[in-house]
Structure 1
Amino acid sequence: MNLPLIAISCYSLSMLTLLIPLFSSTSPLLHLITKSAIKTAFFISIPPLFLLINENFQTTMMSWKWFVIASVPLNFSIQLDHYTILFVPIALLVSWSIVEYSLWYMHNDPKIQLFFKYLLIFLVAMLLLVSAGNFLILFIGWEGVGIMSYLLIGWYFTRSNAGAAALQAVLYNRIGDIGFLFTIFWLISHFDSIDYNLIFSMNVPTPLIIAFIIAAASKSAQFGLHPWLASAMEGPTPVSALLHSSTMVVAGVFLLIRIHPIIKDNQTALTTCLCLGAISTAFAATSALTQNDIKKIIAFSTSSQLGLMVVAIGLNLPHLAFFHISTHAFFKAMLFLCSGIVIHNLNDEQDIRKMGGLQKSLPITTSCITIGSLALMGTPYLAGFFSKDSIVEAINSSNVNAWALIITIIATSFTAVYSLRVIFFTSMNFPRFNPSININENYPTSTNPIKRLAIGSIISGLIINQILTPSSPLTLTMPTYMKITALLVTFLGFLIAFDLAQISWTKTPSQNLSKSINTSFYPLIIHRLAPALFLNFGQYNSSHLIDTLWLEKMGPKGLAYSQLPPIKKNQEVQQGLIKIYLSILVISMTISLILLQLA
């Protein structure tokens, strides 16, 4: 059996199937064609996954000569390894659910055909990024998801907040793009190649690896480059689900997984990833605690989980980062879709304090919210448990950078707090919304996708755990107290969340804590204070430069200064000596008369 040929054929057929709706863009049934194409591509991508499970499939490369620049060949290369073969079906399954959900959510939108086309291009760009065989193809997919995120986040372009959020996403991601482009140009100029295999065998300098990490931090919304992720909630809910689950935000972490061969022996890069991930997961988890917007709570939870993935990279365990990417895609997409159903039924109300008691009126949705939140917490035997528990075990058995590991574990307990807070405020207690609101979830196009994702949130962790190959030897023995650390911090978070919920049900919570912790005023500092200081500094210097140089020195003062040299020369001659002046006058007149007589 020719395993590489089967894998390449299935991958190529899947991509061609996804491209079919793009050539049917004038069809009035484009949204239905798009859904069918993604569904078909998902089933086509299954055979390589079975080959990976049963036949221990190895990496396969296919490459076509594209063009040559300065004697450097740039090829269109595709790499099918265990990461690609495992991620493609996951991305297609999640996207299939989101696209089917969009049939219900966007059915009144006059530009629904264009919306589905954007979603499809977004998915194709991500699959190209995952399967890239060199940094050029990876960058094409990287830019593709960036451009499409701008268009989708700003879909409701008549809203000023949506336009600002889309622009913010582009600007923050451009920072990472600069780092990415710099590394590509450096690799071409020094190694005459951008292929993975050749680059990974070279000694890549640390500043270049740091540039890669900056690129990943911008795309995966790590601390310092994170504000755009919460602002991206201005886009439609299906966009938020696709953006946060299996496409754009995991692109940065996937880049770090790809370049792990050049990171694993560089202690500076590993420490940078570890500290950056720890700070990001703690900051985002703390911010999520004080949010009341259900979509922003889920958005900050995404940033926190991305930080946990980067921590796994810093611990030299990229397979655990990929494991968490795979399981996280299911329950995060499901949480966003469920939040969209709740918001839609409550007349666009996003404040969790104005919900409650939905377990009777929205039983399927609230059940899926509970499953997704429990999976996010790492509840035993749900999908998130297998990946999060493995990372926490790796943290406990690690002997590097204790403070980073401690705050990561604390952030893990915060995950339980805000997850249970969402469950309490949406599902439990009494309704806090207008009783005249008509609530209805009897739409198959809205409930079938979340049911499908709920199944994935339950069983995907166990399945992927059996497939994924560790990148380093595992710790075979570990004390019991270290094994149950993840469960203990989750249980601690449960107690804190329950206590806070009891307080909030009987007493209005103080706003002081919320105001002091709520994103730590980061957007205020970065988006208001820093630009104001730079603009004032620039205005002062530019106006000062214009006033002093052009208007004064080149104007009145310049004219005066230009007359000083001849004036000084004249002053040297005219010293106020009358006798000398008279003598010069007499001599001049005498010479003039003599010349007149001679003439």
Structure 2
Amino acid sequence: MNIMIPTLMLTSLLCLMTATMKLTIKKTVSLNETKIWLMLAFLFSLAPLSLFINNEMETMLSSPPIINTTTMNINISFILDTYSILFVPIALYVTWAIVDFSTWYMYTDPYINKFIKYLLTFLTAMIIIITSNNIFQFFIGWEGVGIMSFLLIGWWYARADANTAALQAIIYNRIGDIGLIMTSAWLLTFTSMNMQELFTQQNTITLIPLLGLMTAAMGKSAQFGLHPWLPAAMEGPTPVSALLHSSTMVVAGVFLLIRMSPITQNNIISTICLLLGATTTLFAAAAATTQHDIKKIIALSTTSQLGLMMTMIGLNQPTLAFLHMATHSFFKALLFLCAGSFIHGLENEQDIRKMGALNKTMPLTSSIITIASLTLMGMPFLSGFYSKDTIIETITNSHTNTWALTMTMLATALSTIYSLRIILLAQTDYPRTKMNPHPEMETPMKPLLRLTLGSILTGTLLKLTPLQTTTTVTMPKTAKLGALIMTILGLILSLDMFLISTKQTQKSPSTMMTFFNQLAFFNTIHRALPMKTLKFSQNTSTELVDLFTLEYYGPKALQNTATNMINLTTQQKNLVKNYLTTFTMTILIALVTTI
């Protein structure tokens, strides 16, 4: 049994690597072949999952030492436990659907094979993160998802906004990377980079490496303060947004804290994570209600859900954070792909105010995005309900619940508002655009239906795993139904606001609306210091170097030196008459004296 799990998992990874290598080596590869390899990888990954559910046995797979240091030997080591065995099939399933959708969405792109290869490399880097058993290997995957996100966000490099967004993403992530590098250096010096050894020495870990881990997660998962890059990343193609926000990149930061949870159970770090997560959840949900770009609304929804996961880590509930991470992958990928279908049908129109009546022209996509939105809201018996409801119950029963509970409840109501806003503005009423939407095609519907199935059934299927074996707690009915009450309240408020907003005259935006629409002005704040530094450097190089150094020590200095030398070495005063008179008198005197 111990041999079968790693063998089957390695077979699954081998299928993924084969698909990537074929796209790398051959110039022309059938994308149908790539999809078949991904499907095989997913099917092979289900076998270890079924074996694990029945036995719950952790397995490790290690190579001989590759790098020998004074404190430890670094090797390639994979851990197959609850997190990795559960999440690898989810990541493969979601990527399979996204690649299938991409073959239709990016059909006219001349470099579509390269695009698919980048998506598969992105997934490979995330799987390295999920299965790593030491910080060195984890860091390779961490940097891998970072560079692949840079390449994919800036895929349409001819657009200035795409280049700016790609740079913004990589710079914000480098800020987080400083924390992980600092932690890695500390662990290499004082303890061990091997996670199993590290967890046994948890009492020796100080606050410095834990702050580094939290900074890394804050940058990668776009928590409040380092959040502006995530909405900006919507400049990339829609399949990139779907993969980036569902099962790769942004969940890597939260997963770092989930994986390192045995050493992060520190009161200070837990409190910071709790406050940071609760603030992010509410702020991102409020910001999403003020946006008009459909992709930015869904992107800020991701930030809000990541804040919810961070809140769970702050309450020392990493299992629940992982449960929400697993269910979130399906409905978030589904939301983005449906948004991509709308955008494609409306010839690249992303403003929801210019949509309308899409339930008539694109009925299947409209039905699917409605199911995905209901899952996000936490409607009972859809997958989001099983994780979101359990999270809110856990916060209700914790001793440090005042701030977190208030923020989470408000965010739950706001999540209903922005989800319903997409549904009502995009699908109902009358068309608010001059163009005729393209009719739906059969090709993109297959991956959408597969993800819909995952969004509906994942929560129920995860009941079979140890993730939802929580302690039974007696609580009042109002507390138990708290999440559902807030969802229904948000639903009623959203409908009311929609009816009012379509009847009233246009007003100038309020300060509060502008504050959330501009993401608390963090873009301006973060760019102020670099711009000041750039201008200071420019003034230094032009005014000091050009005007001072070159002026006084260059041409002027040479002129002043030459003038003084001329005055010292010649008696010429330009007195021509005097010179001629003196010359003539000298000749006459010479002639007279010689006679």
1:349 deviates by 0.6
The residue aligned with 1:13 is 11
1:550 deviates by 6.9
Q: C-alpha separation between the residues in 2 aligned to 1:147 and 1:286?
A: 30
- Aligned partner letter, 1:530: L
Q: Where does the alignment leave 5 or more consecutive residues of structure 2 unmatched?
A: 558-595
Q: C-alpha separation between the residues in 1 aligned to 2:296 and 2:236?
A: 12
User: Is contact 1:396-1:482 (8 Å) kept?
Assistant: yes
Q: C-alpha separation between the residues in 2 aligned to 1:66 and 1:111?
A: 39
Matches for 1:513-532 after TM superposition, within 5 Å:
513=510, 514-532=513-531
Matches for 1:35-184 after TM superposition, within 5 Å:
35-55=35-55, 57-71=56-70, 72-184=72-184
Q: C-alpha separation between the residues in 2 aligned to 1:297 and 1:50?
A: 37
Would you say 1:490 and 2:491 are equivalent positions? no
Q: C-alpha separation between the residues in 2 aligned to 1:478 and 1:488?
A: 15
Q: C-alpha separation between the residues in 2 aligned to 1:283 and 1:165?
A: 21
The residue aligned with 2:293 is 293
- Aligned partner letter, 2:447: P
- Aligned partner letter, 2:337: L
1:405 deviates by 2.8
The 1:548/1:106 distance shift into structure 2, 3 A limit, reads: closer
The residue aligned with 1:312 is 312
The residue aligned with 1:268 is 268
| Deviation digits for residues 383-423 of structure 1 (CA, Å, limit 9, x no counterpart) | 11110001111111112152233122211111111011111
Counterpart selection for 2:501 from 501, 504, 517: 504
- Aligned partner letter, 2:479: M
- Aligned partner letter, 2:221: S
Percent identical: 48
Q: TM-score, normalised by structure 2?
A: 0.88
Match of 1:79, SS state, is strand
Would you say 1:218 and 2:216 are equivalent positions? no
User: Is contact 1:319-1:468 (8 Å) kept?
Assistant: no
Larger mean CA deviation between 404-413 and 25-34 belongs to: 25-34
1:29 deviates by 2.2
Match of 1:474, SS state, is coil
1:468 deviates by 3.1
| Deviation digits for residues 79-106 of structure 1 (CA, Å, limit 9, x no counterpart) | 0001111111111110010000011001
Match of 2:467, SS state, is coil
1:27 deviates by 4.5
Q: C-alpha separation between the residues in 1 aligned to 2:322 and 2:361?
A: 37
1:337 deviates by 0.3
The residue aligned with 1:240 is 241
| Deviation digits for residues 538-576 of structure 1 (CA, Å, limit 9, x no counterpart) | 566788987999789999xx9xxxxxxxxxxxxxxxxxx
The residue aligned with 2:455 is 457
| Deviation digits for residues 46-95 of structure 1 (CA, Å, limit 9, x no counterpart) | 1111112223x221101102422433310100000011111111111100
The 1:260/1:166 distance shift into structure 2, 3 A limit, reads: same
User: Is contact 2:320-2:467 (8 Å) kept?
Assistant: no
The residue aligned with 1:282 is 282
The residue aligned with 2:251 is 250
The residue aligned with 2:386 is 386
1:226 deviates by 1.0
The 1:226/1:516 distance shift into structure 2, 3 A limit, reads: closer
Match of 1:262, SS state, is coil
Larger mean CA deviation between 193-202 and 343-352 belongs to: 193-202
Matches for 1:197-216 after TM superposition, within 5 Å:
197-202=196-201, 203-216=204-217
| Deviation digits for residues 221-257 of structure 1 (CA, Å, limit 9, x no counterpart) | 1111111111111111100000000011100010010
Matches for 1:337-416 after TM superposition, within 5 Å:
337-400=337-400, 402-416=402-416
The residue aligned with 2:561 is none
| Deviation digits for residues 10-62 of structure 1 (CA, Å, limit 9, x no counterpart) | 1110111111123323142242232111111000001111112223x221101
1:470 deviates by 5.6
Match of 1:261, SS state, is coil
Larger mean CA deviation between 523-532 and 253-262 belongs to: 523-532
Q: C-alpha separation between the residues in 2 aligned to 1:511 and 1:98?
A: 40
> How large is the Cα RMSD of the aligned pairs?
2.3
1:519 deviates by 3.1
| Deviation digits for residues 313-335 of structure 1 (CA, Å, limit 9, x no counterpart) | 10111111001011111110000
1:533 deviates by 3.2
Would you say 1:431 and 2:461 are equivalent positions? no
1:465 deviates by 2.9
The residue aligned with 1:23 is 21
- Aligned partner letter, 1:227: P
1:469 deviates by 3.4
The residue aligned with 2:586 is none
Q: Where does the alignment leave 5 or more consecutive residues of structure 1 unmatched?
A: 559-599
Q: TM-score, normalised by structure 1?
A: 0.88
Match of 2:63, SS state, is strand
The 1:470/1:442 distance shift into structure 2, 3 A limit, reads: closer
Would you say 1:468 and 2:466 are equivalent positions? yes
| Deviation digits for residues 422-466 of structure 1 (CA, Å, limit 9, x no counterpart) | 1111111122222x51421122x2001111111111111111133
Q: C-alpha separation between the residues in 2 aligned to 1:215 and 1:342?
A: 35
The residue aligned with 2:474 is 477
- Aligned partner letter, 1:507: Q
- Aligned partner letter, 1:98: I
The residue aligned with 1:228 is 229
Q: C-alpha separation between the residues in 2 aligned to 1:257 and 1:387?
A: 16
User: Is contact 2:395-2:401 (8 Å) kept?
Assistant: no
Larger mean CA deviation between 212-221 and 534-543 belongs to: 534-543
Q: C-alpha separation between the residues in 2 aligned to 1:552 and 1:470?
A: 75
1:338 deviates by 0.3
- Aligned partner letter, 1:73: N
Q: C-alpha separation between the residues in 1 aligned to 2:260 and 2:14?
A: 28
